[in-house]
Amino acid sequence: MRSIAVDEGRGVNARALVVSDLVVAYKPGQPVLKGVTITFNGRGMTAVIGPSGTGKSTLIRTINRLVEPTSGQVLFLGRDMARVKGRTLREMRSRIGMVFQEFNLVERLSVMENLLCGRLGFVPAWRTWLRRFPESDIARAFDLLDAVGLREFATQRADALSGGQRQRVGIARALMQEPALLLADEPTSSLDPKTSVEIMELMTSLARRNDVPVIVNMHDVELAKRFAERIIGLSGGTVVFDGPPGALKDEHLKQIYGGEGWL
């Protein structure tokens, strides 16, 4: 595991992520994010909650630049993710793992190959073409498969797995990158409630064991309160709540989601 300098003194470590004045507009003049400023201190799990279409996904995807920001900054590891290009962008992405709502596994590849996808930022194409990954990568993949309990599925094709199993592979793939930050975009939305809890437990424990900060996006408030150490409420493209789960009261939820009949 890469060692990362930790500056405990300021309460913010080297893996801190600073989003400032972030504006994202898919159509000119109709911003989804209207100037979001958040400092993630590079530790533990932060959950971003909010109603659908409020820009949760956009926020997460702007962090690893799957979405182009319109203006603002995303500072991470000393670089502005909103500005980097080409090789630097790829290097930055390789340090950020991502877990997707619909798992996004490469269906026709084996589970092992899907895990090795996590190393694609580090291994040149001629080696990946021949599937000649470094031995350490293969060993790490088997370790992670053990950790997510899918060792015996290594050679099975990803499309043969159930939803929960796929998301386990998704998490393992993200951790294969040895990321300095783990992003999760609605990781449990395509799963049943029991599997959702299992996946969140797995993700939390693995992130803790690998010492990776997590930013997770979810609409399930209870799940967010149960697993996250900090909750950020987004509504209408701006931050309306930022604090520990204990501080999240009904009036905040009313503000975030609007109305109260559902409470």
Partner 1 sequence: MTAVAKAPAWERFTPRERFARFTVYLLTVAAVVTSLRTVEVIPEFLYDAPEQMMDLFRRMWPMDVGHYPQAIHAALVETIHIATLGTILSVLLALPIGVMAAGNVTPYPALNFIAKLLLVSSRSVNSLVWALVFVAVFGPGPLAGVFAIAFRSIGFVGKLFGEVLEEAHRGAIEALTAAGAPWVSVLRMGYWPQVKPAFWSIVMFRWDINVRESAVLGLVGAGGIGVVLDTALNLFHWDRVAMTLASIFGVVIFAEIVVTAIRRRVL
Partner 2 sequence: MLSPSKHGREARRAFEANWLARLGWLALAAYVFYAGSLLDLNWERLLLGLDNAGRLFGRMFPPDYSRWELLLKGMMESLEIAVLASFFGIAVSLPVGLLASRNMMPAWLTWPARMLIALCRSFHPVIVSILFVKAVGFGALAGILALVVASIGFIAKLFAEAIEEISLKQVEAVRSTGASMPNVLIFGVLPQVLARFIGFAAYQLDSNLRNSTMVGIVGAGGIGGTLFAAFQRFDYDFVLAILIAIIVTIMIGEILSARLRAVFQ
Which partner in partner 2, partner 1, none is near 41 (CB below 5 to 8 A by kind)? none
Which partner in partner 1, partner 2, none is near 120 (CB below 5 to 8 A by kind)? partner 2
Of 143 and 260, CB closest to partner 1: 143
Q: In what order do the strands lie in the sheet with 30-40?
A: 30-40, 17-27, 71-76, 79-80
Identity at 56, one-letter amino acid code: K
The stretch near partner 1 (CB under 8 A) out of 75-83, 133-141, 165-173, 189-197 is 133-141
Type and span of the H or E element at 147: helix 135-147
Asked if 155 contacts 186 with a C-beta cutoff of 8 angstroms, the reply is no
| Residues within window 125-154 making contact with partner 2, judged by CB under 8 A | 125, 128-129
Nearest distance in Å: CB 152, partner 1? 12
DSSP 129-145: HTT---HHHHHHHHHHH
Of 107 and 146, CB closest to partner 2: 107
Which partner in partner 1, partner 2, none is near 129 (CB below 5 to 8 A by kind)? partner 2
What is the rounded distance in angstroms from the CA atom of residue 103 to the CA atom of residue 85?
26
What is the rounded distance in angstroms from the CA atom of residue 71 to the CA atom of residue 82?
8
**Binding residue for partner 1, selected from 10, 108, 135, 250, defined by CB under 8 A:** 135
Which chain residues interact with partner 1 by CB under 8 A? 110, 112-113, 131, 135, 138-144, 146-147, 154-155, 209-210
